[in-house]
Structure 1
Amino acid sequence: MQASPSPVETSRIVTAETNADIQPTTSTDENIDVLINIKPQPFERLPISNSGIADIVPSSQLLQKALSTANLGISQTKLMGLANRFVSINSTNVNVSEPMEQWRKDVLDAFDSSLKDITRVAGMLVKLSNNKSLAFALYKVAAEEGYQNAAHYYAVILGTRSMKQKGGQSTSASIIRELVTAGHPPSYVVYADVLLAKATLNSTLKAIALLERAAETKLAMAAFNLGDVYRKGEAIDKDYQKAAYWFAKAAKQGAAEGYFMLGNMYSQGQATEDGKPDFEKAFVNFEKAALAGIVEAQFNVGGYYLEGKGVGKNSNLAVEYWLMAAAKRFPIAALNLGKLFVEGKEVPKNIRRARDMLNLAIELTDPEKIIEQHARALLAKLEHQKGKGGWCTIM
């Protein structure tokens, strides 16, 4: 989600509350024993960067820690052997189909045919590696052996075209339908998204039914998406009471984005009985989301502290939260920090830090270049003050 900045010269606080469309991640690592039938497809060449193995797997130390922490049933040596062969095949062979079929057998042997462990290692590689090709290939192996969780992730990747494969979208749709029939809750969520995209009353009601079934299994993403359906009201009437209920449920089930959306609703009077904003409740929810690492919430909490909105005014805490957001490369946080350090009103003027934040804002600017324009204007202001001898640098 990208927030649209207001002019910083007239409004210091640029809010990330409106038009929020963030989506939480979800985990499906529970053991699902019922297998499904997926027709194996020949391997196509998968992309390998010039960095080769360095992009495919994380550093040796990080990989060792990840494997030992997750208690996965494969040694680092075996996994690296599979990774090296994978890179070699996809880098040099004209036709990868036959050697990759042997690689498929090697994977099953290395993992002692534990489809769950293959899937978990693939998930680990998705999080830790720049190049997701090996992770995708592992999902494919476990999926085509019938493991539901692997099939789900494999279908999602195919459907989003992040790995271009012939007939990928049709294969994805077929797998998701099979998973829905098999009663796989995360696939209910994916199929519900397809139905919601049609934006008709009938398709929306079907999507809600699927999401409710998934939410019954305590799948946080299903609850979050239900909240979003009722908040937006695109094919049904908006129902803020139901939206707040489902966002709260999602938050309690582990989706911190639910807290962010509750903060959003309270700040706009959508979750209150009288329809008026309740900034204290908004702050409480934004803070919970911020402490869970939601960057938009970190930005909003900083703004609330700076203005004393819903909480006691505290400029130092405002800076801390904006620094958290800037460290995650949230451009408006960097821009507003630069302005604070230039003006020296709520916090001491600090030209070096101002320059650093403004240059970061320029680097991270929005597509319309609005953030860059404001950042460059503030840098020009700094140079003008320097020419007049109007400031000294605070190190």
Structure 2
Amino acid sequence: MKKVFILAIFSIFFACFPVNAAEPVDPVDQFLLAQKYKKGDGIPVDMNKAFYWYEKSAKQGFPPAQFETALFFDLGKAGVKKDYVTAAYWYGQAAAQGEVNSQYNLGGLLWEGGLGLERDMEKAMDWWFLAAVQGHVGSQHNLGYAYTQRGKQDPEQFKKAYYWYHQAADQGAAKDQWHVGVFCENGLGVEKDLRSAIYWYRKAAAQGHTDARERLKKLGY
């Protein structure tokens, strides 16, 4: 009789707890577990389990997990079929919450399009802008490039290209320092200024930028 009573108590006790009580339910904890599986932090690397927990966290609205989930679909990682539409969805969820890398990557997907995702260069630039004003160098560079392409039809656009290249150059990006030098030397979006061009070429060359070094040689510096 006592055994039956004790078993009944244990049955009630365990019924109060979920079977998977050890599994995290908080999105941050789910994300951190995914990171452990991704990096092999104390456990064997398992990208399938990493994806599982990233997606669980993403569905609860956690931006870093939404970004990581998008990467799996963007790159076709760990057996996940490459799917730009789904990648754009998850990047978009995170980007709407201000996640800068998602804004950058979403811009890249929209700029190129493909795999069922409609190309939309205007929206791409809108997302890059949101990342660029947060100081994201890659987005600043991409805006510089985009406005440079527009400048071929409308020279006024070179002013915007110069501005964004300069923003990235100020943060030490060698390729953007090179672009600023080119713009200064040729008067694209800014007054011609060889002295400034040489300054920026030297900044880029000091970081190993080959074109900047070659241009300095041709200019006699």
TM-score relative to the length of structure 2: 0.76
1:340 matched to 2:183: yes
Q: Does structure 1 retain, via aligned residues, the 8 Å contact 2:184–2:190?
A: yes
**1:335 positional shift:** 0.8
Deviations 1:241-292 (A, max 9, x none): 1100000000112202211111110122137545xx4322222221222122
Q: 1:280 to 1:299 in 2, by over 3 A?
A: same
Aligned match of 1:112: none
Equivalent residue, structure 2, for 1:278: 120
Inter-partner Cα distance in structure 2 for 1:355 and 1:272: 45
Instruction: Output the amino acid matched with 1:212.
Output: E
The percent identity for this pair of structures is 27
Where 1:238 maps in the other structure, the secondary structure is coil
Question: 1:272, 1:278 within 8 Å by CA — same for their partners in 2?
Answer: no
Is 1:252 matched with 2:96?
yes
Q: Deviations over 1:348-386 (max 9, x none)?
A: 3211211221121123x2xxx4x1x211111122228xx
On the 8 A contact 2:110/2:117 being kept in 1, the answer is no
Once residues 200 and 217 of structure 2 are traced to their aligned partners in structure 1, the CA distance between those partners, rounded to angstroms, is: 14
Does the aligned pair in 2 maintain the 1:262–1:271 contact within 8 Å? no
| Counterpart check, 1:306 vs 2:140 | no
How far apart, CA to CA, are the structure 1 residues paired with 2:132 and 2:86? 24
Structure 2, unpaired ranges of 5+: 1-21, 41-45
Provide the residue aligned with 1:267 in structure 2.
Answer: 111
Gaps of 5+ in 1: 1-179, 385-395
Q: Is the 8 A contact 2:107 2:127 kept in 1?
A: yes
Deviation at 1:300, TM superposition (A): 0.7
Query: Does the CA-based 8 Å contact 1:212-1:223 persist in structure 2?
Result: yes
Q: Which structure: greater helix fraction?
A: 2
Q: CA separation in 1, counterparts of 2:188 and 2:24?
A: 61
- 1:299-326: CA deviations, max 9, x gaps? 11011112218x9651111111111101
1:265/1:271 contact within 8 Å kept: no
Greater relative contact order structure (CA < 8 Å, 6+ sep) = 1
- Scaled by the length of structure 1, the TM-score of the pair is 0.44
Distance 1:302 1:233, change over 3 A: same
